[in-house]
Structure 1
Amino acid sequence: MSVFLEDTARNNLPTWATAAIKDGYAKGAYLSPFASPKLGNGYKRSAADVAKTIISSGGEFWFDPMTYALSMPRTGDFRHYNTWDLWGKDRGTLDTSHAQKDHVNRVFDIQAELGSPHLAPAILVSYPDTLTSQRALELSQRSVEISANAWLTVAGDHQFWSAGAELDAHIGALDQLQPAGWLLVVTRSDNAMPPSATAEEVYGLMRTTYALSQDRPVRVAFGDLAALPAVAAGAEALGTGWDMRQRLCAYQDFEERAPDASTGGGWYQRPTLEGLFGGLTNGEYVILVSENPALAERLTPGAIGPKPQQAFRHHATTLTRIIDELMPLAGRQRVERLRDLYVGAHKEWPRVHRITGAKIGSDRWIKPFLEGIKLFCEAEGWN
């Protein structure tokens, strides 16, 4: 299984994760202090209870400190975060060796308590050759010094993953730390779906994944469909979920919210069409089914179902099926197979657009990812 679940502000993570693990369309889940409290609060179960439930179902349980979210613009949703003992004094202060070690130790203590592998905290980086990037490197170094079995997170925005040679130098320095594994994160300035990715960003993520996955496992948090090129480049798994906030990591989802604001962030029930490597609105899909049911069935294997959990199961199963097709292939073959699948999907979109009048098409769902793959293939001499 190559799909894992990100945390959700809803109260259904343990039950839906258990079902997904048992039915084979998820391998485990990541708990976030921004989405879940440490202790039960009458709405959400305690972290210990969630961990026990997921582990007992045969799944992986991880506590992701998501320290990098503190560096996002306007982050202010601390209603759950402040229930965790993650800082000695000033929240987010990591400018000294002592502060870094203290934070890392607190994170690792919580993970040990919950039965989670060590996943080190990380700092969000925009440019790979700055004081911030150096501090991110130092924090990672402190983490592996404290725990040689720690996984390291690399979190960056669009500029970071598009930074070319400077990105490669930063990743090279991190790689020398030799952690147990890697969790990569692309942060977004908005929560549009599909995300506003670029070919350069996709290429940078693929290049990084390819280099790091040569001797250690790599995963992409909040990856969803956008992380498939990274899977082709060597990533073993990606994160997803049933809410928008589980499928991408957007700044606005960490802003302070009113006390009476919705906790869920909105079910994402739009159908995922495997043959398009993208989705349609519910209304557009109804038109497609009505006007050309044979085409709709060919592009969308498996029943979707009208309820949120059914829609999520179909989506996660679709991701799993695509990844399972790529995994047995060798490096170059895997990348070229995904490229061919994107090319095939690109050819399907005009017909679907004529039938449904879809507002979002291959320019968003296909183009940046296909172009990023082509850049990667050119760099590797795989033309």
Structure 2
Amino acid sequence: MAPTPTADSLLASHQTPYTDRTLDAIRDLHLVFSQHDKAVEYTVFAQCRNARSLYIGCADRGTPTFAVAPLQQLLAALRRLERLEFAEHVRQLANLRLPTFLRYLSLPVEAVEGARLDYLFVWEIKLSFCLKCSGSAAVPPLPRLPWDTLKSVELVFERDPTQELVLLAGQTQGGVRALKLHAVRITHHCYELHLFIQPARLGLLELAHAALGGSRLRRLVIGSDEDQHLSLTGRWDSLLNLHLNLHLYLPTENLPSDLFAIIEACPNLLHLDLAHVAFSSGLTGTYAPDTWLAKPAHRLATGAPALFGLLYRLRHDTRVIRFQVWGPNVREAVRWSRRTAAEDFVGERYCLE
């Protein structure tokens, strides 16, 4: 059997139209492979030795696998690679050994068994990790992860995440095994049509606290397409930044008592972001985000009492120095900020790029 050719040996026998200067300037690679790729095609990308980010897709969606040996050599050649992301439809990585110099890794849960993640435990890599769990019933549960060393984690679910988050609580021992974790994002996408949507018995925030409340988590982002119970029964002293994208509806006649109970449970909170929130039934008209600032403060008390009440409590009863609200148009937001907890909030409207 002939020895497997290396990138250098292949490049010695193949000329490419790319100059070294061009290839050295490339920082981000977005590649789509298939089972029919030739080894020499990988060697062209292996010349991009300054690449920092690599996205890998697969053209064979029916049987999403590809040759691992040349991919293994490609990863070995990209010594400055920091971010590696596999497309959601990639299923088998056939014992692919991932490089130890990564700082961010994203892959589907189906691919975890094939990828050799043992190095994460052995080398104690400080990694930001994204795991995508599809809605298929055949998808395996949340794998064991090196919670002792992970810096940040993103979990993306296309199914009810309750089972995985309960399992997560066992892995982290309520967060005490994840003391280096400082940022977590949990997203639940629901692609099925529900005529009658019932909130989960425990909301995502409550489940996240059960899994990570004992950690030193500073930033938490939670998003869901479905209705959620808005509650947090335990204190979360370490949390400084909370972003909720939960399609909240706080109508005119109700003050956001549940929301403020959550804020009180996070006594050191400095930044609060609410996305897709409705503070009145007239959100698309009179009380759109770009008109909240046009109202005198005393008119907010009668026109949008939920917003007025929340701002009042944030001003007098919390350490929050930045409060942001996005309406249904996520490109438009209103930000209230102050330099210290002793000052009044100053509001401004802005558009996201």
Pairwise TM-score range, normalised by the shorter structure:
0.3 to 0.5
**Larger radius of gyration between Structure 1 and Structure 2:** 2
More strand by share: 2
Normalised to the residue count of structure 1, the TM-score between the two structures is 0.34
Normalised to the residue count of structure 2, the TM-score between the two structures is 0.36
